[in-house]
Amino acid sequence: MDLTIYDVIQGPVVTDKAFRLNRDLKKLVLKVHPQANKPMVKEALEKLFNVKVDKVCIIRRPGKARIVNRRTVIGPATKRAIITLAEGYSLDLFDQAEKTVVKAEQNKGTAESVG
């Protein structure tokens, strides 16, 4: 299968740990195509976002087994890439989402104090 640079990166991973990695260590966590490798991810990021990638780490996550109606169902396996950008480059994929989370936490605090 021949992947284009648009097929390789499927989107950001939106979890607490991914936010923390981005905020504290300036690393990005992205979902990638299951057949993508490190050079493909690096090339796709550099061409799509005009940034210089320093390091790419790939993580394969097996599907999670669950019991549904007395049957064992295995969820889809995913592949993630943790990207370290070169010094002086940044990519704010989480900036808008983090502002939304902070705003929701602030609203939650004011709602609790009122009630």
Computed over every residue of the chain, the mean pLDDT equals: 85
Residue 85: per-residue pLDDT = 92
Residue 44: per-residue pLDDT = 94
The domain spans of the chain are 5-114
> Residue 114 — pLDDT band, cuts 50, 70, 90?
very low
CB atoms within 10 A of CB 109: 10
Residue-wise pLDDT for 19-36, tens only, equals 899 888 889 999 999 999
pTM for the complete prediction? 0.74
- CATH homologous superfamily for 5-114? RRM (RNA recognition motif) domain (3.30.70.330)
Residue 115: per-residue pLDDT = 43
